[in-house]
Amino acid sequence: MAYSEKVVDHFNNPRNMGSFKKDEDGVGTGIVGAPECGDVMKLQIKVQNDTIVDAKFKTFGCGSAIASSSLATEWLKGKTVDEANQIKNTDIVQELNLPPVKIHCSVLAEDAIKAALADYKKKSGEQQ
């Protein structure tokens, strides 16, 4: 199967690969997927004044899964929490030109965004 140029680019030059400390202030962490399914994504956001100032990812999965999460971190940066909630998997499919068999990678990335946002909201709610 041939990968789109954008998938190859994200795979070769992943954006924002790495980790924040989970207990750091303003950090939300989402881990989705399962090793048995061949995909696990960890997506983290760092929020200041309701704006995502930084994002990081680590992914176990195929090239499309890595590219989907790498792209998600790019898109998250600079967005407000509410704006980030609007990111849809179909946007990722379109941007990366994912074929039908790889749509689940984009779904996983959307799930990871949602999970990271939920974790952030839970943590900031606890603090207030």
Partner 1 sequence: MKLPIFMDNHSTTPMDPRVLEAMLPYFVEKFGNSASRNHAFGWEAEEAVENARKQIARTIHADSKEIVFTSGATESDNLAIKGVVEMYHEKGDHIITSSTEHRAVLDTCKALESKRGVKVTYLPVDKAGMVKPEDVRNAITDKTILITIMMANNEIGTINPIKDIGKIAKEKGILFHCDATQGVGKIPVDVQDMGIDLMSFSAHKLYGPKGVGALYVRKKAPRVRIAAQMDGGGHERGMRSGTLPVPLIVGFGKAVELCEQEMPTESKRLSAMRDRLQTAITSKLEEVYLNGHSTQRLPNNLNLSFAYVEGESLLMGLKEIALSSGSACTSATLEPSYVLRALGVGSDLAHSSIRFGLGRFNTDEEVDYTAKRIIEVVTKLREMSPLYEMAKEGIDLKSVQWAAH
| Residues annotated as part of the active site | 37, 105
Is the CB of residue 7 less than 8 Å from the CB of residue 99? no
Q: Which of 13, 21, 23, 35 binds partner 1 (CB under 8 A)?
A: 35
Member of 17, 26, 81, 121 binding partner 1 (CB under 8 A): 17
Q: Where are the alpha helices (DSSP H) in the chain?
A: 5-12, 63-76, 81-84, 89-96, 103-127
**Nearest distance, CB of residue 1 and partner 1, angstroms:** 5
Cβ atoms 32, 112 nearer than 8 A: yes
CB-based contact 59:73 (threshold 8 Å): no
Question: What is the x/- site pattern for partner 1, positions 37-76, by CB under 8 A?
Answer: xxxxxx---------------xxxxxx-xx----------
Distance in angstroms (rounded) separating the CA atoms of residues 93 and 116: 20
Binding residue (CB under 8 A) for partner 1 from 19, 48, 80, 85: 19
Q: Is 15 in the site for partner 1 (CB under 8 A)?
A: no
